[in-house]
Amino acid sequence: MDLKNKHLVLGLTGGIACYKAAELCRLLVKQGATVQVVMTAAAERFITPVTMQALSGRTVYSSQWDAREPNNMPHINLGREADAIVIAPCSADFMARLVQGQSDELLSLMCLARPIERVPLLLAPAMNREMWAHPATQRNMAQLQRDGTTILGVGSGEQACGETGDGRMLEPAELVHDLIAFFQPKLLAGQHVLVTAGPTYEAIDPVRGITNRSSGKMGFAVARAAQEAGAQVTLVAGPVALPTPRGVTRIDVRSARQMFDATLAQATQATIFIATAAVADWRPVAEAEHKIKKDGSGAAPQLAFTENPDILATVAQSPRARSGELLCVGFAAESQDLLAHAQAKLERKGVPLIVGNIGPAAFGQDDNALLLVSADGARELPRASKLELARALVQTCAQMLRRPS
């Protein structure tokens, strides 16, 4: 319910992508928003107002002369009530009309009459690839951005005309994610956040290895929350089957040494490093060239282990971290005595914040409970969704950045 208490005007303009607007409306309502649909006459050629009314639970508007409004001014009333106006799909023609301030029908009139300082306008363009690439469209988009409009971007792929390229309207789930992110406070604007997530895999032979139960969900939630907060985010991910959060740069690795190399390379540009990954402490000294077979004797193979490099401690001791240019945050996944182990790790790693959790109770789950441990003491974050906890962690990081050094 990330959009609870948000009232959105969903505008539809002419285009085959109107079929996606039905699912978008459904998902917005599911996220807690109230949705008022406004359609152009061209949009009604592609999808009926009846469909949108059924999904939004509200009467659809399409005419500036709608007598249902007591003062006959829906272009004023509907815009004043909104937390945002979202045009999805937004055609090339409608973008041009917005640039010129043309307003001879309800939707463009409402966009023009909205209080710009408190009712943002967001556009999800949808058009043929040639129309999208045309200099006129690109000029119009640039002008709209200068005017304060948010362009949500386009997708790439097959188009209804049979061609393939940029210009598709983003998928409804992508748009909902972008809208949720839009309303999040931009606490980390201008920051570059580096996150490690998931387990590592240390090979024994070509088919076997040592790993752990980390799903990567907490780290991916942290990456998403940081991106929502306005940061540039790089995610170094171990072997997990999770989609990359929107707007996040992802680097896939497998072993602890690969994660070490990738993290150190990225840490030179980061301002915040959040080490959520469950990195293997040990690895086999050597990986067998072929699968180790049973020989019938019942004897187990003898494996020798060596310690993996300590990613968090290494980054925390780097010149940028020691000078305060890089804020380092570690995670401690324990099975008992969480506070004591987290405090010990805080001292051992030399970082300002350790985030502790009971690993067996969190691995693979969508929720968790965290313990934030710093030199100032310990603070519990009660069980909640991992995304909600990640947003609380982002807020804590933002507060730490604002403290005088």
Q: Give the DSSP per-residue string, 42-93.
A: TGGGTS-HHHHHHHHSS--B--TT-TTSTTS-HHHHHHHH-SEEEEEEE-HH
CA-nearest of 187, 195, 340, 320 to 253 is: 195
Peptide bond into 89 cis (omega under 30): yes
Tokens of 37: 């649909």
User: CB neighbours (10 Å) of residue 221?
Assistant: 25
Catalytic residues: 161
Closest CA to 3 of 22, 36, 21, 30: 30
Tell me how far apart the alpha carbons of residues 283 and 265 are, in angstroms, rounded to a whole number. 22
CA distance 20 to 390: 30
**In what helix (H) or strand (E) does residue 273 lie, and over which residues does it extend?**
strand 272-275
The distance in angstroms from the start CA to the end CA of the chain is 38
Query: Hey, what are 141's tokens?
Result: 């988009």
DSSP annotation of 171 reads P
